[in-house]
Structure 1
Amino acid sequence: MPRPKELPGIGPPVESVGFLLIPGFSLISYAAAVEPLRAANQLAGKTLYRWWNAAPADKPALASNGAAVLPDFKFGAEVGSLDLLLVCAGGNPATFNDRRTFAWLKKLASRGVTIGGISGGPVILAKAGLLSGRRCTVHWEHLPALHEAYPEVQLTRSLFEFDGDRVTCSGGVAGLDMMAALITRDHGHELAAAVSDWFLHTHVREGARPQRMDLRFRLGVSDSKLLKALKAMEAHIEAPLDRERLAHLAGVSLRQLERSFHSELGRGVHEHYLAVRLGRSRQLLRETSLSILEVALATGFASASQFSRAFKRSFGSTPREARLRDRRIIDQDR
């Protein structure tokens, strides 16, 4: 059976999989990747896949919901015939700075192990220097920060990506889709379909499918012309378009565009655009070390002071105060 298009040059079939669980990882992302391996073994009636779990410092890995997974493989040990290592991370992976983890990942990569990341895991790979020039994806929440911090990484908004010996997945239930592609390649469509059916995952998606819900459903908007303006806003954060340009792209008059925004979203064009930009700024403040001025410029503000005033009016605190508060919360959760 021919290999799926999403799997060019990924190497020999996968038999042994390691999971490196970073504190605060998403439990659903981890389960969506490991459970298909168990199901494949059970449905095939034999051991097709083996796997183990490791965690930094060999401590129980706490997921973002507080559940703990006990590591059954010593962190940093020799891995033997490992085919694939998947790094699972969530929360705010940009704050993870364990040098031993980065060194271990680099060592495994140099020995030919395929290295992957799930949800926020690609951020860990980028920090370890393993994604430079590679095509990869990451959960949409981390995408702006990863793009700002590592412009050399070829980011996509796909569900999952395979680029040689690098594997990345956006997380959530997309792990089911990624593992279905791997199982198809290794053991055929029939087994992969049986695994997907086992988990009531009746519509397996290709890797190139988009991560996020279409704007019409996310915002509850059905007006096609209004949707054109909304998509243009999300595509132009750093250099915002003026209202006249948005109206032109939507194919309506400025007055009509304003009426549509008020009737469909309950606020005007400027107010909505500002909310979109400020939402992006919160992500960058939380997940990058960019200065306040750099965050301001990346989200279309002319100065740090202009940005700070708008941010405080919207959120009740300055950008600096919000960043410090978020960091305190992260430290308490560890």
Structure 2
Amino acid sequence: MGKAGRFACILTPMLLTLAGLICIILVMIGQLSTSGNNAPTTKLGRDLYFFKADTSNFGDKPNKLDDLNIDNNLLEALQGQASAGHLKDFYQVGLWSYCEGDKDPKTGVETITHCSSSKSNFWFDPFTVWNLKNSTAQKIVGDEKLEKGLNTYKKVSGFMIWSFGIALALSAAEIIIGFFAIFSRWGSLVTTIISTAQTIFILAAASTATATYGLLVGVFETALKDINIEANMGKQMLGVMWLAVAFGVASGLFWLFSVCCCSGKSPHKKVSVEKTPYTYERVASPAFPAQHGQQHTGYAGASHSQQQGTAYEPFRKNHV
């Protein structure tokens, strides 16, 4: 396989790595503001979220509070926030920030009105967002239901963010180092090592995000479902995230394949042997011409001439 075959062998994992890098970037721009003034995110960013809390149906609840499986202090606090216009219709959580907005009751069209500032240690705290921090509602309800789930989410959110960041950096390094793999199997070996590390981090990040936000959805459903506050995970974000994992695994396997195969050397390279200068060739003796059908070649011919008692040297020096 020549250089062209080597290039084709490297091209496949390079494209897979690039696709994985794009997926990680998409995960990281979800719910990210388009500017520094917390403006709404782009349409692509709006559709990518890990977790969504829908509070648009909060007003559609039974009149008898005794029928609700929720603490009255939390309900009254939320009612106060809704009356003051501080409770938005939905909240979407990304990796670095969250966005909130309104929902048209007739058409169901959602419009993002505000996005929070991005933070490297971001985690979504509904009590802070709903202005219920350190309130009686948080102390009573949070200890039993929301608090435990939120504490778990807070602890692993930093690891999750750093895992995605490291996976992004390793993906970029994988592409850069991958160019050297075109010329050498050693380049493929180094790239394979980097790819393995990238796969480990993106897999850890995706697994952590899936488990964490799945837990958060369960906590919201348990604690707030009776007052029609719903929660769900973003299918688009999950799809993009696990697609990044798939691309990472596939690229690693192809990088490993390029270490074992695709040497870049042609198996049909021709080797020509030229005559060295000052070689000897057998010539016919003028005194003893060769008989018909007899060849005087090699050392045997020389011995025959010497047996005839002649001093003629049967070899000539050939200057090439």
TM over 0.5: no
- Scaled to the shorter chain, the TM-score interval is under 0.3
The TM-score normalised by the length of structure 1 is 0.24
The TM-score normalised by the length of structure 2 is 0.25
Structure (1 or 2) with the larger CA radius of gyration = 2
Name the one with the larger helix percent: 2
